């Protein structure tokens, strides 16, 4: 018997690895010419995580009066002290908070709370692709709207709503968006929630990068939507993954207190609760408010420096041939290579891989089966020359070195293109 036929249709259609899985090299068989420089990893810089402080906090937890509680089952919504810390950090009440196994579970639980099979979910385009997978697995029909430099195109959204389109939920990464780094300003956030209230859809705001701003913190969503008792229009998702490390798997959802109660009841049949020991250790770390504030300041300074170095290196190397905006926070720089460099071309991918460059191509973030494809944030075109480059994980010097390799790769690709003229072009040239 073929074991695969025992799987549900939902499970049978799930592919492994996701869009970020990347082989060391899948081109012409050549090994990378140099050590790999990884621009693909959306994970923290390993030099800034608080290893020693976490060790000390864990020791206090496991040798203190709450040692057994830290290894016991937890409240389904998360331990109360951690909910209090999150509420304090995010300026809401503890009853508006449920602790999750990272932001990904926050998306999953929000989707399960809102979506029935056949409901239409609107996504920004380009989109964090794992979120799209979650909504599709929930049975949602997917539509998309493009991004602008100030977030989703709300003029387009309002036009569709006025023409009769209806949505159950809209998913967005409002601050330092993945992959583009765009930020929704206060006016955009207010307008989006006003539209959601008027037309009756929910907003799922996935915000794991919010605390990693460089110059000034991003604006909040309107407070009345963030601390409601019921009828919460907003499901706001956060995480400690980008600041304390993704291995903790501790995040949260903020919504109306009745919605939080419903999510808590539902998740009892999913995982019960997040890791109790992880919650206790993070809660112990957060007791030292000054220390956590200083950690965020160090991380902001480190990532701002690395982002600036990467931006300056690309701008200098390509001298106006590429389109990019300097990151204002988060982990990512979104850029378009020169128009003659097509990442859908296997020869281009081979050249980049041969030079040890690991990246995520722009097409990985295109909403699937959507009429609208993600283009330049400051214009409109095919994303086949777009790259998402992470400045978070690799050392500063590697980020800059990689730009030199990228420049070499582009020059080599152009040389190859000039020496391999297609037959049709040879015929035209001879006429």
Instruction: Check whether 429 has a pLDDT greater than 60.
Output: no
* Confidence at residue 226, expressed as pLDDT on a 0 to 100 scale: 83
| pLDDT for the residue 396 | 97
What local confidence, expressed as pLDDT, does residue 26 receive? 45
- Cross-strand bridge partners of residue 30: none
User: pLDDT band at residue 230, thresholds of 50, 70 and 90?
Assistant: low
Tell me what pLDDT residue 30 has. Answer: 54
- The answer on pLDDT for 275 being more than 80 is yes
Higher pLDDT: 105 or 421? It is 105
Mean pLDDT is lowest, of 101-105, 124-128, 190-194, 347-351, for 347-351
Q: How, if at all, do strands 357-358 and 37-38 pair?
A: parallel
Give percent above pLDDT 90 in the chain: 73
β-pairing, 120-125 vs 141-148, is parallel
Q: What is the mean pLDDT of residues 285-310?
A: 98
Report which of residues 396 and 342 the model is more confident about.
396
Decide which of 375 and 388 is more confident: 388
pLDDT on residue 77: 96
**Is 211's pLDDT higher than 60?**
yes
Q: State the pLDDT at residue 2.
A: 56
| Strand bridging mode 360-361 / 386-390 | antiparallel
Reported as type and span, the H/E element at residue 294 is helix 289-318
Measured CA to CA in angstroms, residue 312 lies from 97, 114, 178, 218, 246 at distances of 40, 43, 21, 23, 29
pLDDT, tens only, 342-387? 888 888 889 999 999 999 999 999 998 644 444 444 333 346 889 9
Q: What is the rounded average pLDDT for all residues in the chain? A: 88
């Amino acid at each position: 018997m073929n074991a695969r036929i025992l799987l549900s249709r939902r499970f049978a259609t799930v592919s492994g690895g996701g869009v970020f899985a990347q082989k060391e090299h899948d081109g012409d068989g050549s090994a990378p010419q140099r050590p790999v420089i990884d621009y693909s990893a959306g994970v923290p810089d390993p030099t800034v995580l608080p290893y020693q402080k976490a060790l000390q906090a864990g020791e206090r937890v496991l040798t203190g009066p709450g040692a057994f509680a830290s290894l016991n089952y937890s409240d389904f919504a998360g331990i109360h002290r951690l909910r209090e810390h999150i509420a304090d950090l995010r300026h809401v009440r503890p009853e508006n908070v449920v602790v999750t196994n990272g932001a990904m579970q926050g998306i999953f639980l929000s989707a399960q709370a809102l979506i029935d099979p056949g409901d239409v979910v609107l996504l920004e385009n380009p989109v964090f692709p794992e979120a799209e997978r979650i909504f599709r697995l929930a049975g949602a029909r997917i539509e998309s709207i493009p991004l602008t430099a100030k977030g989703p195109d709300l003029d387009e959204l309002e036009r569709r709503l006025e023409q009769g389109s209806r949505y159950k939920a809209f998913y967005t990464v409002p601050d330092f968006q993945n992959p583009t780094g765009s930020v929704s300003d206060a006016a955009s956030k207010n307008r989006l929630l006003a539209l959601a209230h008027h037309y009756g859809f929910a907003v799922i705001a996935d915000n794991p990068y919010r605390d990693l701003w460089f110059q000034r913190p991003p604006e909040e969503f309107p407070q009345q939507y963030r601390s409601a008792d019921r009828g919460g229009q907003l499901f706001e998702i956060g995480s400690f993954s980008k600041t304390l490390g993704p291995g903790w798997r501790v995040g949260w959802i903020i919504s109306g207190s009745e919605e939080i109660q419903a999510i808590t009841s539902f998740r009892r049949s999913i995982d019960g609760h997040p890791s109790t020991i992880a919650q206790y250790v993070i809660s112990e770390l957060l007791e030292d408010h000054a220390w956590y504030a200083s950690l965020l300041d160090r991380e902001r300074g480190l990532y701002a420096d690395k982002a600036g170095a990467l931006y300056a290196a690309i701008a200098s190397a390509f001298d106006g041939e590429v389109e990019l905006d300097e990151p204002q926070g988060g982990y990512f720089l979104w850029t378009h290579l020169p128009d003659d460099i097509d990442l859908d071309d296997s020869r281009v991918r081979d050249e980049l891989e041969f030079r040890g460059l690991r990246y995520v191509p722009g097409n990985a973030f295109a909403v699937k089966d959507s009429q609208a494809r993600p283009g330049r944030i400051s214009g409109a075109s095919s994303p086949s020359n777009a790259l998402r480059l992470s400045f978070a994980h690799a050392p500063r010097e590697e980020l800059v070195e990689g730009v030199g390799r990228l420049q070499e790769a582009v020059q080599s690709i152009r040389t190859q293109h000039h020496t391999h003229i297609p037959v049709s072009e040879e015929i035209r040239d001879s006429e």
